[in-house]
Amino acid sequence: MSELCLGILLSGRGSTMDAVARAIVRGELAATVKVVISNNPAANGLELARLHGLPVHVVDRKDGRTRMERHREILDVLQRAGTELVVCAGFNEVLTSEVTSAFRDRIINTHPSLLPAFGGGMHATQDALEYGAKVTGCTVHFVTDDLDNGPILAQRTVEVLEEDTEESLAARVLVEEHKALPAAIQLIATGRVIIDGRRVQIAPAPVPASR
């Protein structure tokens, strides 16, 4: 089986990128990371990527260019790397329509809530606590021009405990993100994902041929 070629976008610590890279090393994910791109030259995720031996590229968010100009460079790097699936792993910008159009149905993102609940912002865990939610979690979804509203590929739940703080709840949600993202990528890599409008259908796993 051929490996799915990934381009990973990140802005911070890179823990979800690390989870993907480790899943590949363990043989749980039929993919290869062609490039890791960050809009933050100081992102810890860049050093993690280098430790994994992955190619890195920086498109600094503060370099004075417009978002369109910078994202055109991101698109060019992704395409030159032979990217088949773009993975937003803690990327703190909304991608331009030029990028989403070029990779239509081939960009996924993780969000720390059970979408459509608490979407559209950067404080989903805090929002869940303030709302009094009893259950939250994480979502892996396809990226469209409609922020956090693309078709949902996978979700994992986390119970909200009475004693939870934003930090404690976010830590448990992150653990589930680290599981959900590699598993979701593997579904795509094995050709089991069918997008039908807003719904994502998962085809059954092929039955191994009997000897």
Question: Could you list the active site residues?
Answer: 111
End-to-end CA distance of the chain: 19
Give, for 141, the enclosing helix (H) or strand (E): strand 135-142
Question: Starting from the edge strand earliest in sequence, which strands make up the sheet with 107-111, in order?
Answer: 56-58, 31-38, 4-10, 85-88, 107-111, 135-142, 152-159
Q: What is the pLDDT of residue 122?
A: 82
Q: Average pLDDT of the chain? A: 96
CATH superfamily of 4-202: Formyl transferase, N-terminal domain (3.40.50.170)
Task: Provide mean pLDDT across the span 42-57.
Answer: 98
CA distances from 42 to 14, 25, 45, 151 (A): 11, 25, 9, 32
The tens digit of pLDDT for each residue in 12-35 reads: 999 999 999 999 999 999 999 999
Pair of tokens at residue 57: 């590229």
Q: Pick the residue with more confidence: 122 or 68? A: 68
Ordered by start, the domain boundaries in the chain are 4-202
Answering whether pTM is above 0.85, one says yes
The tens digit of pLDDT for each residue in 136-170 reads: 999 999 999 998 999 999 999 999 999 999 999 99
